[in-house]
Structure 1
Amino acid sequence: MKNLRFRACGLMGLLLLCLPLSVTAESSTWPGGARAAVNLAYDDALASQLDYVVPDLNRHGFRGSFYVPAAAPLLLERLEEWRAAAAQGHELGNHSLFHQCDKQRPGRDWVAPHRDLSQVPVQAFAEQVALANDFLFLVDGETERTYTPPCGDVQVGDRDYLTPVKPLFLGAKAIGAGGVTPSMESLDRFGITVAVPSEVSGEELIAVVEEAARRGTMANFTFHGVGGDYLSVSREAHTALLEHLAAHPERYWVDSFVNIMRHLQDH
């Protein structure tokens, strides 16, 4: 996974969902009359997220979403820091128990054989996802949660496992396919697409939220490493995005994915 980069439609095309810019913005549905909702999410429970991301988000008063595999070593190793992040308003989202992915798909040589999702019965994996919710409850005490499927895989072989676990969540993300929601009218809360930035500039990240504001919809990011780890963006690029969002509170509502899903559910 470490060499994953945006390619289809070009880098900016995929970030912006490969859609034209001349689209009329929808009426604002966001708190404070903001033009777009923005979720900053971070997968896999990585050290750079605790070292850099949480302090940077706190500095700007933003709440992010951290999708934590329940068996991630860093979850137990730095448990109190994750608990502190949750107490500060950051979301600990479900990212399954063992972060299993379908090894049979192209480019999945890095998946260990014992973590091959294609070899797991659907019901067994659904039970693991439910168990991950229970484990995260012991960390943060929260009962409402959202989900990001590892590697974006929502099937076990050719069998859907997402449908059986939908009642456990307020919403779920679909990895890749672009970070700008094209329309709120056709929104699927269990298939909200995200940008997965790696080695991009601050200007490219800012372009995503600006396009969401033009459309009056949502911008969703799924970062991994920031200033380190893998699938990384630089701290400079990440900081540029945060500073842009902070400079325009009238334009962007930045919040955790679970809070955005609660808002959509209520409205």
Structure 2
Amino acid sequence: MIGQFPESVLGWTNAARNGHELANHTLFHACPEKLGWQKSISIDNYTIDKIIKEISTVNSMLSLLDPKRKTRSFAFPCNNVFIAGTDYSEIIKNKGLVTYGRTGGDSNSVITDFKYLNRMQVPSWHVWTGTTLQQLISFAEKVKKTGGMGVYQFHGVGGQIFQISKETHRAFVYYLKEHQDDYWVTTFSEAMNFISDQQKE
């Protein structure tokens, strides 16, 4: 209808208002051409300057959806931090584009060494298609047992790629709610702010 936000815009805006973090993930999600990406938007054909412009553009777009957040965290497309052999993670941090970065990992990627954690290359569990509720819970229990931090990298809930069912995801959220005395469920940036304070001590 005329005069109303498109549904997707309203969804992201409401998510931000309800405490969710809208982080940067680039505009075109450049990944290696060998994984099926078109040559024009494959990371193989990117330059540092191009990725900087892209991240900056997305920051501007996100500021329209989530104006209260002044800094952004970043999820590296395809968990890749290199362009033409150069690690660009610290470059985008030093330019003030992002404060924290998330890369990949597996179900063993539990963070326990907070003091020496690279805040621009924080590992996460790339949750694959078919992951079960018990596997999601097992990772949480491993995090609790070690007193560490775990980052779940979900892509498609009920659709898209690397998907798990909506029912499985919902059941896991309910599990965390029922055990909220055992887990601190928060945004990536809030968790990283806490770790940053520890590293300063």
Q: Deviations over 1:212-265 (max 9, x none)?
A: 011101010010111222210112321232122111112100011111122222
Percent identical among aligned pairs is: 28
Deviation of 1:177 (Å) = 4.0
TM-score scaled to structure 1, two decimals?
Answer: 0.66
In the aligned structure 2, how far is the partner of 1:77 from the partner of 1:119? 34
8 A contact 1:202–1:239 mirrored in 2: no
Residue 157 of structure 2 corresponds to residue 226 of structure 1 = yes
In the comparison of the two structures, how many residue pairs are matched?
188
The whole-number CA distance in structure 2 between the counterparts of 1:120 and 1:185 is 33
Q: Distance in 1 between matches of 2:41 and 2:16?
A: 28
**Residue 183 (structure 1) shift:** 2.3
Matches within 5 A, 1:91-170: 91-104=21-34, 108=35, 110-141=36-67, 142-166=69-93, 167-170=96-99
- Listed as ranges, the gaps of 5+ residues in structure 2 are 1-5
The alignment status of 1:196 with 2:126, answered yes or no, reads yes
Counterpart of 1:29 in structure 2 is none
* Paired residue secondary structure (1:206): helix
CA shift for structure 1 position 82: 0.8
Relative contact order: is structure 1 or structure 2 higher (C-alpha 8 Å, sep ≥ 6)?
A: 1
- 8 Å Cα contact 2:89-2:101 kept in structure 1: no
**Conservation of the 8 A alpha-carbon contact between 1:130 and 1:165:** no
Corresponding position: 1:210 with 2:137: no
**Offset from partner CA, 1:35-64 (integer Å, 9 cap, x none):** xxxxxxxxxxxxxxxxxxxxxxxxxxxxxx
Question: Normalised by the size of structure 2, how large is the TM-score?
Answer: 0.86
**5+ long unaligned stretches in structure 1:** 1-75
Quick one: distance in 1 between partners of 2:162 and 2:38?
19
Q: Quote the offset at 1:182 in angstroms.
A: 3.6
RMSD of equivalent CA atoms = 1.7
**Greater share of strand:** 1
Letter in 2 for 1:138: L
Report the CA distance shift for 1:77/1:112 in structure 2 as closer, same or farther (over 3 A): farther
